[in-house]
Structure formats: structure tokens, C-alpha cells
A and B are shown apart, each in its own frame.
Chain A
């Protein structure tokens, strides 16, 4: 009833090409943005930020990054954890080497460094395809973690090899270190997420994104119609690395505050982000959000219900959590292999016709 394009006339190309051409969609988008920027910061406390919002925002960025690579360009990567580590360590080195520069630029630069590393490890993708490539990216995962553990320069020669994020401020307000307030860290990450989502969305709508999708659907055919596979794949690895690096930098600097390569950026992280995009929906920016929200919220929710409300022993709850998460992944795949984003799409289609479906 509300959700339809009838009567929503466009009078210019700019209007026709906008991200959300349907009015209802657009207003919903404005409402979400308003809530995220102007309502949530006043309501949240430390627990909400640290247990839910920061992981959700940061993993959403990582998921968008990985989705560009896997969902749009079809290059399966299991090296996300390693690339996030690159972002984190780059950010740490920048933070400690140039303390006078704003952390904002450090995070962006960390993304840039990660993009370069990601491109380097993406080069074999020109020859290696499918699962072979997936496993090959594991080489990046293990090698990078080993490297950060091994070379003392990366952790400033500290005795234990841990990196700690010192206090840094944006406009005089602390966003890293122990004395942060909930809203500041939240907004800082939100700004990055918004920017990344906008860039990601617009890249995938444009020519670059179309090239990626052509490569994904069939790379030989794409080559024949004039898409340069080298440029397309490398750009996908680069953009993906940029986002993943930003998320790694934020994860370390803002969320965790201290990190160690093997512990915080292990293979599990790679799988986690991959789950997010598959559950959320491959090849969808919204899917990245949905997947991240799902996998961040679900364990917290289960834990709170099982332990907090039902009073079960924590170990049983944790095991059950594994079973439920595993079971849900399977159920999801069986019911809707294209993820939450597809469910959303179907719902929207239904809404468009409602209340006269025929």
C-alpha cells in the first residue's frame, strides 16, 4: 500500500538514479539514519555499546568489505582475519608514530595499507579459482598472523607482543583508550560505517560493480565482452581490503583497546565474517548489515536468555549456543539459501502489491 512506485514521478536523471528511488524506501532510510545518529547516542550505555553496537558496526564494515569481494566479485576469501590484523597493526604503528595526527586519518590510512596488502595476496586469484582460491587465501591468514607475532617492530618491541591503543581524541573527545564515553565511540564507528556503506553501495551500482558481477558470473565471458579481469579482480581486492582494514583498525583501537594477532585475528574471525555475509546475503549491502546484526546479536541474546533468564549453567548454555547457531545456519540455508537480504527483498515485493496481490 505504502510501498510502491506508482505516483512517485521522477523529473530528472539525478532523481531517477538515486540510491533509493522509491519514496517509502527513502523515508525509511532517513528515519534509520536519524535514529542512528540522533537518537541512539542518547540512549546507550557502556554495556550496549561494548556488547552490541560496536561489534555490530565494526563487523558490518568488515562484512561490506568481504561482500564486495565474495558476493560481488565472486572471489572467495578466508583471509579476512589476517587482513583485519593488517589494519589493526597499521593503525597501531601510525597512532604511536604520529601521535599528533588525528586518529580519523590513521584509520583511513590503515585501510589504505590493508588494501595494498590485500591486492598483493589477491594476485594469485588471476590463476587460482573457486575453493582453491579460498584455501589459498588461508596462506595470507596464517602468514600475516605469524608475521605480526614474529617481527617485534610491529608491536614496538613490547615484552609481550600485545599492542595497546593509547588514548586519542577527535575534536577533543576521546575515542580510544579507557576514558571514552559510550556515545563517542559509537558515533566514531558509525561515521565510518555510513561512509563505507555509501561508498560500497555506489560502487556496486556503477560500472565498477557491474564489472565485478560480470567476473563473478563467468569470468571468461566477462573477458570476452571487454572486462579486464586483472583490473576488476585487483580493484575488488583493493576496495575489499580497504574496508576490512578499517574494520580491523576500529576493532583494535576503539573496541578492544588491546590485541594480539593470533588471539584477536585468528582464523575464526575469517569464518565469522564469511558467515555474516552468507547468512545476510551474498551480493547485497543490506545483507552485510543483516548478517552482522544476526551473528552479533544472536549469541548475546542466547546467552542472556539461557543463563540470565533460565538460569542454566554457563557451559551448557555455551554448548547449546553452538548447536543453535549451527542449526540456524543450516535451517537458513535450506529455507533461504540467498540469505536475509532475499527475505527482505521478498517481503518488499509482497508489500508493493499489498493489499491486492493479484
Chain B
């Protein structure tokens, strides 16, 4: 087998893994869009916020220590204890649920029935707000997030493929873990949506708000729930990306990686987010591998969008989106 083909296969596999991470972020968007028609730009910031909170809790940081010190002249910063990972994740989840309740209570309850662009803007406002609060609460220095996920080259795959092709493939352990977790997460979401009462209610709301309301489903509750689930997805994404690159401001920019995935898969489809993620991941990595060197590299930022754009021209609602029916 030629070298290029072997390299291409390695790139392909890595692209699939990267795609899973993109899909993870995109999932949060889809959940909220489906249930409430809100295009939640704040999803990336939610991932950052949850990761910051997680690290803060694990390290026993005192929230708003910086502000308290500045106002009262004290010198506090840590409680002095370390919280184990699992407990910290649970506590962070509580924070995300509280956040979901607040978002619903103070923001979207007042915006029911507005145009989508207004709702979109509101989430941008929310993103700004959360960014400021997150930094003010936990400080803006880089934090290392370690919940015990493995990282680094997977030696088994390296050796096996070296035996096959004479060139060991590089697959990151973290990516493998992320893939497994993402698969579990999707399975859990599907089971939740199909087999639980709340899940069915959620699907009913997604189909038709008014019909759902008329059979006695509390929209308010469903929306809080959806934002909580999206918060959970954000937390998982935050853990994955935070382990990879440390927890800091740029984590919020992963939202930009998820947008082409959404376009491709359709805003309303969970399988779409997964398939879209995989296509984008593989597509951009292969393009960078094959064409990148010819045009000077760093194509990944725009290629995903152009790829999605080309798909859209042929299928304006995305691969799995609901067909847009227009009537006058």
C-alpha cells in the first residue's frame, strides 16, 4: 500500500475522532433549538462556564474571591480542600441546573413569541453575561483540568498498525474516551427521549408548542429541563476540550466549530449532529492533508463552512433537517 494512502487512513481516523468532539458541542445546540426554536449562541460559553466551575470546585477556589478581596481588602482565595472529580461534576451539574432555571425565569419567559433573530440576540447577550460572570467568579488565568482521563498516543493501535502497514497510527487516548462517552451520551439521550415521560413531553413540545400545552405539558418545565440537559452536554464538552487545552477563554470559541456541523446536519436532528460532525471532522482533516500543503495550510477554519455551504446549496435544510415547506 502506498504511503500516502496509509497516511490518509490515519488522517481519516483522526478526523472521525475530531468529528465526535465537534458533534458533542453541536448536540447542545440541537437540543435547545429543537425544543424551543432558540439558536443558542451561548452554548460555547456554557461549556467554558461549566469547565471553569468544575475546576473551581475541584480546587476549592472561593468564587468571586478577586472581587471580595478588592472590596473588603481581604486576602482569601481557596477553601483549602480538594473535591474529588465525580463529586465536583455532580456539584457543577447542580450549578448548571440553577443556571437553566435562571435563564428560563429571567430571560426566555419574557421573550416568548419573539422572532428567532431576537431570541438569537438574547443568547448572545447571555454569552457576554456568562463570560463576564465566569471570569469574575473564577479568575481569568489558565487552569489545568484533570479528572483522570487518559491522554497521549494509544500504544496498542500504534503497534498493531505498525505490524500491518509498517507505520504506526497515531490515535489519541483522549479521543477514544471522548468517542465512547459521546456514544454513551447519545444513547442516553435517545433512551431518555423515547422511553421516559419527560422525554416524550420534550418531543411533544418540539413538535408543536400549542398542542403540547393543550394536553397539559408545562412548557416552562420542559424548557428548564432542556437547558439543563444542554448544560450537561456543555459540561461534557467542556471536560473533553478542557482536558485537551486547559480551561481558559478560548474554550468558548468551540461554538464556532459546531456551527458548520449544525448546518450540515440540520438544526433539528440529533443523528444529524453526529453525522454532520463526522463529515466535517473527516472532511477538514483530509482537505488539510491533501490540499492544505498546496495552498499554504491552516484551511480548517474555513473549509468546514465551505463544505457545509456546498451541501446546503443542494439541501437547504441540512442533511437531516425537517423539510422546509413554504406556503403563502
Contacts and interface: CB of A to CB of B under 8 A. Distances in A.
B67 to A, nearest CB: 6
A146 B301 contact: yes
A313 B73 CA distance: 13
B39 A316 contact: no
Contact of B302 (A130, A143, A224, A319): A143
Contact of B124 (A145, A275, A312, A313): A275
Contact of B313 (A128, A282, A329): A128
Given A124-B309, A330-B129, A221 B328 contact: yes
B86 interface: no
A323 B116 contact: no
B278 interface: no
B88 to A, nearest CB: 23
B283 interface: no
B5 interface: no
Contacts of A275: 121, 124
B171 to A, nearest CB: 28
A187 B58 CA distance: 56
11 contacts: A76-B117, A124-B312, A127-B312, A131-B116, A138-B305, A220-B327, A278-B121, A323-B136, A324-B132, A326-B127, A329-B125
Contacts of B135: 319, 322
B118 interface: yes
A271 B122 CA distance: 13
Contacts of A341: none
A218 B259 contact: no
A70 B121 CA distance: 13
A334 interface: yes
Interface residues of B, number: 53
Interface in B78-125: 107, 110-111, 114-118, 120-122, 124-125
A217 to B, nearest CB: 11
Contacts of A136: 263, 305, 308-309, 312
B316 A143 contact: no
Contacts of A333: 111, 114, 118, 121-122, 125
Contact of A337 (B67, B111, B267): B111
B260 interface: yes
A146 B328 CA distance: 41
B299 interface: yes
Given A132-B267, A136-B305, A326-B128, 5 more contacts: A131-B120, A132-B263, A135-B305, A316-B70, A333-B121
Looking at A274, A316, A329, which has the most chain B CB atoms within 10 Å of its CB? A329
Contacts of A129: 316, 324
Contacts of B301: 142, 146
A329 B127 CA distance: 11
A350 interface: no
Interface of B: 39, 66-67, 70, 107, 110-111, 114-118, 120-122, 124-133, 135-136, 140, 256, 259-260, 262-263, 267, 295-296, 298-299, 301-302, 305-306, 308-309, 312-313, 316-318, 324, 326-328
B312 A128 contact: yes
Contacts of B115: 337
B70 A312 contact: yes
Contacts of B136: 316, 319-320, 323
Interface in A274-324: 274-275, 278, 282, 312-313, 315-316, 319-324
Interface residues of A, number: 48
Looking at B114, B132, B298, B299, which has the most chain A CB atoms within 10 Å of its CB? B132
Shortest 5 CB-CB contacts between residues of A and residues of B: A326-B128, A322-B132, A326-B129, A329-B125, A139-B305
A143 B260 contact: no
B108 to A, nearest CB: 10
B121 A329 contact: yes
A131 B39 contact: yes
A103 to B, nearest CB: 31
B132 A321 contact: yes
Given A136-B263, A329-B124, A267 B66 contact: no
Interface in A131-169: 131-132, 135-136, 138-139, 142-143, 145-146, 149-150
Looking at A149, A313, A333, which has the most chain B CB atoms within 10 Å of its CB? A333
Contacts of B125: 325-330, 333
Interface in A108-138: 124, 127-132, 135-136, 138
B100 to A, nearest CB: 16
A44 B263 CA distance: 47
Given A218-B328, A322-B128, A132 B317 contact: yes
Contact of A267 (B126, B131, B133, B256): B256
Contacts of A325: 125, 128
B129 A127 contact: no
Nearest to A225: B328
A326 B131 contact: yes
Contacts of A145: 302
B107 A330 contact: yes
Contacts of A139: 302, 305-306, 308-309
